[in-house]
């Protein structure tokens, strides 16, 4: 994911910030919470599901954008920051969608 983000124009500080929080949140997923179907694959597969989903969301085949992705936006606060670029907000939004899908389909309750 790190190399994909860098190739897509994310700066090293942006990638560090995003991956640090991604690692923190995916590490919080616990094997004992996996549902019966997901237990056979294990927690590492569940964590990989989140990153695979994120990859498909952020880098759909053949997609391109002319949006000002480095424009700063004032927010109420995400991942400990109140000012984020559009690029960071896109990543965070897609990450939470993929994390939510994993929790719904792979984990109990």
Residues 19-65 have pLDDT tens digits of: 999 999 999 999 999 999 899 999 999 999 999 999 999 887 656 65
**Residue 46: which residues within 8 A CB-CB, separation 6 or more?**
29, 34, 38, 102, 106, 107
Domain map of the chain by residue range?
A: 2-106
Q: How many residues does the chain have?
A: 109
Q: What is the DSSP letter of 28?
A: T
The label of the residue with tokens 């792979």 reads: 106
**Residue 42: which residues within 8 A CB-CB, separation 6 or more?**
31, 34
Under DSSP, is residue 63 helix (H, G, I), strand (E, B) or coil?
coil
The label of the residue with tokens 């569940």 reads: 46
Mean pLDDT on 55-84: 83
Sign of CA dihedral 9, 7, 10, 65: positive
The label of the residue with tokens 């960071």 reads: 88
pLDDT score for 69: 85
């Amino acid at each position: 994911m790190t190399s994909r983000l860098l190739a897509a124009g994310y700066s090293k500080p942006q990638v560090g910030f995003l991956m640090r929080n991604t690692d923190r949140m995916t590490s919080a997923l616990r094997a004992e919470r996996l549902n019966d179907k997901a237990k056979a694959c294990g927690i590492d597969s569940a964590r990989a599901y989140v990153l695979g989903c994120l990859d498909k969301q952020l880098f759909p085949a053949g997609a391109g954008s002319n949006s000002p992705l480095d424009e700063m936006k004032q927010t109420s606060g995400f991942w400990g920051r109140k000012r984020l670029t559009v690029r960071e907000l896109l990543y965070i939004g897609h990450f939470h969608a993929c994390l939510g899908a994993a929790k719904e389909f792979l984990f109990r309750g």
